[in-house]
Chain A
Amino acid sequence: MAGFSEHPLRSLAAWLADTALSRTLQTVDWLVPAIQTAHILAVAVVISSVLMLSLAVFGLHGREQPLSRSVARFAPAIGVGLPVLLVTGALMIAAEPDRALPNPAFQLKMAMLVGAALLTWLYARSVRGTPATGPARPLVVRLAAGTSLVLWVAVLVAGRWIAYTLSR
């Protein structure tokens, strides 16, 4: 497929693979697994915080306290985890640009990531000021929490599939 190799993302990948950063990442053995370990630890922080927040929204946790307190507890953790994910993720792309950029699993992951992050931010912000206690949570917020939880899980799964979706 001659034309396929001219795909702009492939040209970008080829350029990126030739940078000093990429060549360091390619040659030092332990760098990529170390970065992936940091990435998974940050995933653990984000996905667990999202789950805890969702359980509070569904009324399964912390029913005796306002939802805003759950947001105050877990939103900052997501705010710390997400930048770590972006930086370690960017380094993984730099290490093997051709494995990621033109890979459909990677592209799907990025699209879902934007949706998941945006939806979480929106619903967390909408309940930040709620003084109400008790199990009554607005249906729209519960729907948003459920959808974002599913999206975050899908982001994680798509991330693992990058390793198995051949892009060459």
Chain B
Amino acid sequence: MTIATALEALYATALATQIRENEFAFPWIESLHVLAITLVVGSIAILDLRLLGWASRDRAVTRLSAEVLPVTWGAFGVAVLSGALLFASNAPKYLDNRYFQAKLVLLALAGLNMLVFQFLLARNLATWDAAGATPRAARLAAALSLVLWASVIACGRWIGFTMLAGY
């Protein structure tokens, strides 16, 4: 089975048809998707700005990340699920869209950045609890995170305009 036939099969499923044709399914799933992505980006930005030393300087990094990251990951799960449903509604057309392709690449880079931060840079997080003690590599990861997530949002918006769906 090639990718093309797999996408056609996905397109023909009852679920995809339902999302595509039901008047309310797409807007509701999209609303949930936007809510989730704003919470992902907003919450990770709180941590990024703290790492850069631009906000929440009086809050220990360990404490702040314990508060923020559950929100980020929870919202990220909802964003992926709702995004998968939106994608399923018209998979061949989305995969053909340049901005959708760019969004996938940017998401992968943002994910990679998070993994590098979590498993390489943040292993001794407690040692840089104080503001101003953030290592240069962690500050770079934070700046990269802000730029990547903002670009993900921009691509998402441009998909709407180039797919001629609701915008």
Closest CB of chain B to A116's CB: distance in Å? 14
A47 to B31 alpha-carbon distance, docked (Å)? 14
**Given contacts A41-B150, A44-B39, is CB(A156)–CB(B31) below 8 Å?**
yes
Residue in B31, B39, B59, B150 whose beta carbon sits within 8 Å of that of A160 in the complex: B31
- Complex Cα gap A110–B46 (Å): 27
Knowing A157-B35, A161-B31 are in contact, say whether A48-B153 is a contact too (CB < 8 A): no
Given A160-B30, A160-B34, A164-B166, are A41 and B41 neighbors across the interface (CB < 8 Å)? yes
B27 to A156, Cβ gap below 8 A?
Answer: no
Distance between A151 CB and nearest chain B CB, rounded to angstroms: 13
The docked-state distance in angstroms from the alpha carbon of A77 to that of B49 is 11
Contact of A40 among B38, B46, B68 (CB under 8 A): B38
- Closest A residue to B38 by CB, please name it: A44
**Cβ of B32 to closest chain A Cβ, rounded Å:** 8
- Contact yes or no, A55 B38, CB < 8 A: no
Give residues 16-47 of B contacting A (CB, 8 Å): 27, 30-31, 34-35, 37-39, 41-43, 45-46
Q: Is the interface of A mostly helix, strand, loop or mixed?
A: helix
Do A33 and B34 form a contact, CB below 8 Å, given A41-B150, A44-B41, A62-B67?
Answer: no
Q: Chain B interface secondary structure, helix, strand, loop or mixed?
A: helix
| Chain A 8-51 per-residue mask, 1 if CB under 8 angstroms from chain B, else 0 | 00000000000000000000000011101100110111111101
- Complex alpha-carbon distance, A49 and B56, angstroms: 12
* B154 contacts A by Cβ under 8 Å: yes
Residues of B near any A CB (own CB < 8 A) = 27, 30-31, 34-35, 37-39, 41-43, 45-46, 55-56, 58-59, 67-68, 71, 150, 153-154, 157-158, 160-161, 166-167
Contacts A/B (CB < 8 Å), 19 sampled: A33-B157, A33-B161, A33-B167, A36-B157, A41-B150, A46-B42, A48-B39, A48-B45, A51-B39, A55-B67, A55-B71, A62-B67, A153-B35, A156-B31, A156-B35, A157-B31, A160-B27, A163-B27, A164-B166
